Amino acid sequence: MNSRTIAISVALVALMSLPYWVDGTYYVNVASQILFMAIFALGLNVIAGYGGLVSLGHAGLFGLAAYTTSYMLQIGYGHSASIVGGLFVGLGSMAIFAMLSLRATGIGFIMITLALGQIIWGLAYRWISITNGDNGISIHGRPAPFGIEIGSAESFYYATLLIFVVSFVAVLVFVNSPLGAALKGTRDQPRRMTALGYNVWMTRFLGCLFSGLLTAISGILYVYYQQFISPQAVDLTASAEVLLMVIAGGAGTLFGPIVGAALVVIVKSVVSGYIERWNMLLGAIFVFIVIFMPDGLVPGIGRIFRKFSVRKRNNQPQTLAVEGRQK
């Protein structure tokens, strides 16, 4: 039983018992938010961290899934159909995004995704007959999988936790699979990968699809949590925020996006109640991270632990956080 397994078990126990040791439903709700934003960040990390493809338009995909589900609920479909619809549209639009964006890499990819994200935002604002413009779409109620109601804060938290654990395991499996290794290879050495016979484009495309699936899941969870979706959830600030979660936590690591999501959500929701200049604080935290731990919080804190650790660890392949190198 090495320390890593112990740490993970402790974390799981803490998460599962969370509603019992936090001070009220408000914090349970904050925890739910952290979890589905973590899924969103994990999804972006798949292509930004492991694939070196930085997207500034991911909130657009998040929003497409969320809007699809809300719209279908509004016109009378049931929960199952709406969720499937949301996943389908999320995945489909990611495929289109990827086909357009993968024509370029590096900053070109960033700009194309930015443009696509802004176009979706514009659509959300203007296509009033479907999206209701800035008034947004309100939905009512949550699904009851296998007859279990998830209307309350605690039950929704558990449902989200379950989905989160499944998503996390999926990412873990992906990263350690041949496809995941290939994706990391295309990030670090695209030309060599091509020389070795890999289809770099297809590898990246499949990575994007997986990312899109996770993003769609988080979008649907978001809309069931908030019971509301509006264009503000899809704007450039939202895309920048999730990217910041990934980078600040540690791009290309498993736990980085989770830590990043927790950081941003806690500062926005909890700290903002005590500190009026919370925006400045968040910015200062980011700058601090860049100065002292430029590859993110998780690798940085890992380094600090290793420095103070007395026992020698047996050699474990650490997931190195590598910056997405260009070309």
Binder to another protein among 74, 155, 189, 226 (CB under 8 A)? Answer: 226
Cα angle, residue 324 at apex, residues 318 and 327 outer, rounded to 5°: 130
What single DSSP character describes residue 24? S
User: 49 vs 114, 209, 287, CA distance in Å?
Assistant: 17, 15, 19
DSSP secondary structure letters along 180-203: HHHHHHHHH-HHHHHHTT--HHHH
Minimum CB distance to another protein smaller for 155 or for 232: 232
Binding mask 47-66 for another protein (x = CB under 8 A): -x-----x------------
The two most distant CA atoms of the chain are separated, in Å, by: 64
DSSP 8-state assignment for residue 106: T
Pick one of 84, 95, 111, 161: the residue that binds another protein (CB under 8 A).
111
Query: Interface residues for another protein in 232-291 (CB under 8 A)?
Result: 232-233, 236-237, 240, 243-244, 247-248, 251, 268-269, 272-273, 276-280, 282-287, 289-291
The residue among 97 and 168 lying less far from another protein, judged by its C-beta, is 97
Residue 53: which of 307, 279, 248, 327 has the closest Cα? 327
In whole angstroms, what is the distance from residue 24 CA to residue 18 CA? 10
Least Å from the CB of residue 128 to another protein: 6
Q: Which residue in 92, 95, 201, 323 binds another protein (CB under 8 A)?
A: 323
Residue number, 134 or 188, with CB nearest to another protein = 134
Q: Does 110 bind another protein (CB under 8 A)?
A: yes
Residues numbered 66-105 forming contacts with another protein, rule: CB under 8 A: 100, 103-104
What gap in Å lies between CA 276 and CA 156, rounded to an integer? 30
Q: Which of residues 186-215 bind another protein (CB under 8 A)?
A: none
- Scanning 8-16, 66-74, 110-118, 183-191 for contacts with another protein by CB under 8 A, the matching segment is 110-118
Q: Interface with another protein includes 108 (CB under 8 A)?
A: yes
Q: How far is the CB of 220 from another protein (least distance, A)?
A: 15
User: Distances from the Cα of 53 to the Cαs of 84, 103, 198, 211, in angstroms?
Assistant: 27, 12, 17, 11
Beta strands of the chain (E only): which ranges? 137-138, 228-229
Residue 143-162 contact track with another protein, rule CB under 8 A, x = bound: ----------x---------
Q: Which one among 9, 17, 80, 135 touches another protein, defined by CB under 8 A?
A: 135
In the bound complex, what is the minimum distance in angstroms from residue 198's beta carbon to another protein?
22
Q: Which amino acid is at 13?
A: V
**Which of 4, 12, 13, 26 lies at the binding interface for another protein (CB under 8 A)?**
26
Residue closer to another protein by CB (options 29, 155) is: 29
**How many residues make contact with another protein (CB under 8 A)?**
74
| Closest distance of CB 86 from another protein, Å | 18
Instruction: Give me the least distance between CB of 32 and another protein, in Å please.
Output: 11
Q: Are 260 and 267 in contact (CB under 8 A)?
A: no
Q: Is 295 in the site for another protein (CB under 8 A)?
A: yes
CA distance 136 to 157: 24
Copy the structure tokens of residue 253.
Answer: 């690591």
Is the dihedral angle over the CA atoms 283, 284, 289, 294 positive or is it negative?
positive
Q: How far is the CB of 309 from another protein (least distance, A)?
A: 26
270/85 Cα distance (integer angstroms) = 34
Q: Tokens 């639009």, residue?
A: 93
